[in-house]
A and B are shown apart, each in its own frame.
Chain A
Amino acid sequence: DTGVSQDPRHKITKRGQNVTFRCDPISEHNRLYWYRQTLGQGPEFLTYFQNEAQLEKSRLLSDRFSAERPKGSFSTLEIQRTEQGDSAMYLCASSSRGAGANVLTFGAGSRLTVL
């Protein structure tokens, strides 16, 4: 297993454009998370899936953001009508909740720059 994969690693776009990020979690993990991180800050929770069900979504998440996990495997995060404030690193993580800690394995992230 190659871990959590994210694509693209870098995306530069103009304000108002739509962007989509893809995350491929560790294959046996049924839980998938999206976080956003800006410079000097910790990861900020965006949304969470258990299998294909989106179970939690941050109250801070604008309706321009939408995430899917159609078959309970890979996930996509789409941002519509991007704004400069959307510039950040978008981190995907996965976990397999069993006995013990819910340890997240993060991908390398997708860095978004909105001009």
Chain B
Amino acid sequence: GQNIDQPTEMTATEGAIVQINCTYQTSGFNGLFWYQQHAGEAPTFLSYNVLDGLEEKGRFSSFLSRSKGYSYLLLKELQMKDSASYLCAHASGGSYIPTFGRGTSLIVHP
């Protein structure tokens, strides 16, 4: 994930809103993914953006700006169970293989 940049760690309060940013550089862009990974578990798919704009899915929303190479994941009404690592990944090239960033560790406290 050398060409994907996201913050290493963020903290937030239960019930609040948090925005996790991701910037990327790639050629042949084929979409931007967000995955959630709880400690010791496998990553699970959250969202996919291929066009510019905001995609909303319940408490989670994801935004993409292709011209800026920028995405964010917005988490609303934070719950303790949202404490996890959030992985930004882009797919590029003909094989659509996701390349992951190092992840942002989100800590939600009471």
Q: Give chain A residues whose Cβ lies under 8 Å from the Cβ of B102.
A: 40-42
A20 to chain B: closest CB distance in Å?
20
- As a 0/1 sequence over residues 87 to 115 of chain A, the CB contacts with chain B under 8 angstroms (1 = contact) are 00001000001001111111111000000
- CB contacts (< 8 Å) of A70 on chain B: these are none
Nearest-neighbour CB distance to chain B for A16, whole angstroms, equals 28
Per-position 1/0 for B71-110, Cβ under 8 A of A: 0000000000000000101010001111111110000000
CB B22 to nearest CB in A, in angstroms, measures 11
Q: When the two chains form their complex, are residues B31 and A43 in contact, meaning their CB atoms are under 8 A apart?
A: no
Does B7 sit within 8 A of A, measured CB to CB?
Answer: no
Interface residue SS majority, chain B: strand
Q: How large is the interface on B (under 10, 10 to 19, 20 to 34, 35 or more residues)?
A: 20 to 34
User: Which chain A positions have C-beta within 8 A of B8?
Assistant: 40
Residue numbers of B with Cβ under 8 A of A are: 1, 4, 8, 30-31, 33, 41-45, 48, 50, 87, 89, 91, 95-103
A43 touches B41 (CB 8 A): no
Instruction: State whether A45 touches B45 (Cβ < 8 A).
Output: no
Q: Determine whether the beta carbon of B87 is less than 8 Å from that of A101.
A: no
**Cβ of A74 under 8 Å from chain B:** no
